[in-house]
Amino acid sequence: DVKVTQSSRYLVKRTGEKVFLECVQDMDHENMFWYRQDPGLGLRLIYFSYDVKMKEKGDIPEGYSVSREKKERFSLILESASTNQTSMYLCASSFSSYGYTFGSGTRLTVV
Amino acid sequence: AQSVSQHNHHVILSEAASLELGCNYSYGGTVNLFWYVQYPGQHLQLLLKYFSGDPLVKGIKGFEAEFIKSKFSFNLRKPSVQWSDTAEYFCAVKGGSQGNLIFGKGTKLSVKP
pLDDT of residue B96: 58
With contacts defined as CB-CB under 8 Å, which chain A residues touch B8? none
pLDDT of residue A27: 84
State the best of B43, B57, B89 to mutate against chain A, taking most chain A CBs within 10 Å: B43
CB A90 to CB B32 under 8 A? Answer: no
pLDDT of residue B70: 92
pLDDT of residue A28: 87
* pLDDT tens-place string over residues A54-103: 999 998 999 999 999 999 999 999 999 999 999 999 999 988 766 788 99
CB B44 to CB A40 under 8 A? Answer: no
pLDDT of residue B90: 96
* pLDDT tens-place string over residues B12-49: 999 999 999 999 998 777 888 999 999 998 889 999 99
How far A98 CA sits from the closest chain B CA (Å)?
9
The rounded mean pLDDT for chain B is 91
Mean pLDDT across A4-30: 94
Above 80 in pLDDT, residue B97?
A: no
Show contacts of B36-42: CB within 8 Å, 24+ apart: B36/A102, B36/B89, B36/B90, B36/B92, B36/B103, B37/B87, B37/B88, B37/B89, B37/B90, B38/B87, B38/B88, B38/B89, B38/B90, B38/B106, B39/B86, B39/B87, B40/B86, B40/B87, B42/A104
pLDDT of residue B98: 58
Contacts of B73 (CB under 8 A, 6+ apart): B22, B23, B24, B25, B66, B67
Tell whether B30 is within 8 A of chain A (Cβ): no
CB B100 to CB A102 under 8 A? Answer: no
